[in-house]
Amino acid sequence: MRILVVGASGTIGRAVVAELGARHEIVAAGRGSGDVRLDVTDEASIRAAYDAAGPLDAVVSATGSVKFAPFGELDAAGYEVGLRDKLMGQVNLVLIGREHLSPGGSFTLTTGVLDRDPIAAGSSASMVNGAINAWVRAAAIEMPPGLRINSVSPGVIEEAMDAYGPFFRGFEPVPAARAALAYAKSVEGLQTGQVYEVG
């Protein structure tokens, strides 16, 4: 398969590339690195990246930003960060990408543990993750014939604990390589409308 991995240089993205790249051709994409440049907040950038990538059998999104801040300090602009980037960025990867995938192709999006286990200062992430998971389930029943869509909801990634550890006290970290297996299950399997929880 030819697989576009968006966010290929990130912690999860690198693990996904290592897992799937052993068996498939990877087209790496990112804002500042990769085979193609892609900014998920810019629809024109997404369209240009798909055109540059050529024929694809799968798209994996391992990207998306949200604002972490105490609920009392968040305003509409703070929530808009995650809505525009992680939520609509991934939605637009699918909406635009529907026309670029080969028959039997799949989309795999990324959410995270805060969809089901919220933390202080994480209300934006919880909102966005939950919305993506719900959208994946709904979109799956109306996807063009033969196309699939799933999401992966990993726990806090072990390799990111230096940065995020103080926010996730008591959480059991998940190695990125273990999370990558869920992406492989989505890409190489046959299921659709699934949320694969890891950890």
pLDDT in tens, 161-190: 999 899 999 999 999 999 999 999 999 999
User: In the prediction, which pLDDT does 82 show?
Assistant: 98
User: In the prediction, which pLDDT does 117 show?
Assistant: 97
Distances (CA, A) of 48 to 91, 108, 160, 163: 16, 20, 31, 33
What is d(CA 181, CA 178) in angstroms, rounded to the nearest whole number? 5
Q: pLDDT by residue (tens digit) across 15-31?
A: 999 999 999 999 999 99
| Total number of domains in the chain | 1
Phi, psi of 12 (to 5 degrees): -70, -45
Could you tell me the pTM of the whole model? 0.97
Sign of CA pseudo-dihedral 189, 191, 193, 195: negative
Phi, psi of 23 (to 5 degrees): -125, -15
What residues make up the domain containing 58?
2-198
Q: pLDDT by residue (tens digit) across 148-158?
A: 999 999 999 99
Q: Kindly report the CATH number assigned to the domain that includes residue 37.
A: 3.40.50.720
